[in-house]
């Protein structure tokens, strides 16, 4: 087997679900920020899309993890088997403003995002919420919270073309875990060039 064949063997057969810009915008338009739960859910979706947080990381966030002065958020690592490292990420002003609005009305709780009674959120609720809002947004994909993390990673790689930056943002200890996003972008390039060479018009 030559090197080219070996590379093909390494390529994942199933690529992650990625939301394009229009789908992300449609999803973010679904929660009602005038309602407490709507504002909370919008904040969580925005964080997963804009910072690539895992669902478990969103649920575990504490208010003190947000540094408004430096526009950053501290993500605390889990055990090594889950391939997670502590990391600092930087947030856009619109995301920070949403979080500030939520902090003004959030229940008394040790968690940044909680139930309206201050309890810990259930991960099943968030998975069902994301899926429900994606359906309402008429997104024809099987969307889960991790799809938002995948979308962040693909967008970041598309923008920077630096897989090491994506690895650091996601908190991956092993670069091979991050390489799947290069396959996704390369596949898009392949399809675009095949379409371009076919002589067809859009």
Active site positions, annotated: 54, 82, 146, 149, 172, 181
Nearest to 18 by CA among 60, 52, 68: 52
Could you give the C-alpha distances from 2 to 6, 8, 88, 180, 186, in angstroms and in order? Answer: 6, 10, 41, 21, 21
If DSSP codes are grouped into helix, strand and coil, which group holds residue 72? strand
Q: What is the DSSP string of 104-131?
A: HH--S-SSSSB-TTSPBPPHHHHHHHHH
> In whole angstroms, what is the distance from residue 121 CA to residue 129 CA?
12
């Amino acid at each position: 087997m030559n090197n080219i064949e070996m590379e093909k063997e390494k390529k994942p057969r199933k690529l992650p679900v990625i939301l394009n810009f229009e789908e992300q915008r449609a999803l973010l338009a679904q929660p009602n920020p005038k309602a407490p739960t709507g504002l909370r859910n919008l904040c969580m979706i925005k964080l997963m899309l804009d910072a690539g947080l895992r669902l478990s990381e969103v649920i575990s966030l504490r208010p003190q993890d947000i540094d408004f002065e430096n526009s950053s958020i501290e993500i605390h690592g889990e055990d090594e088997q889950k391939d997670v490292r502590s990391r600092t990420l930087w947030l856009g002003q619109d995301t920070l403003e949403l979080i500030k609005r939520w902090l003004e009305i959030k229940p008394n709780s040790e968690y940044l995002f909680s139930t309206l009674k201050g309890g810990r959120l259930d991960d099943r609720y968030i998975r069902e919420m994301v899926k429900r809002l994606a359906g309402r947004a008429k997104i024809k994909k099987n969307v889960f919270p991790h799809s938002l993390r995948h979308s962040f990673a693909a967008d970041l790689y598309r923008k920077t073309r630096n897989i090491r930056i994506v690895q650091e943002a996601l908190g991956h200890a092993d670069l091979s875990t991050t390489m799947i996003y290069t396959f996704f972008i390369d596949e898009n390039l392949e399809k675009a060039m095949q379409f371009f060479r076919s002589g067809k018009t859009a």
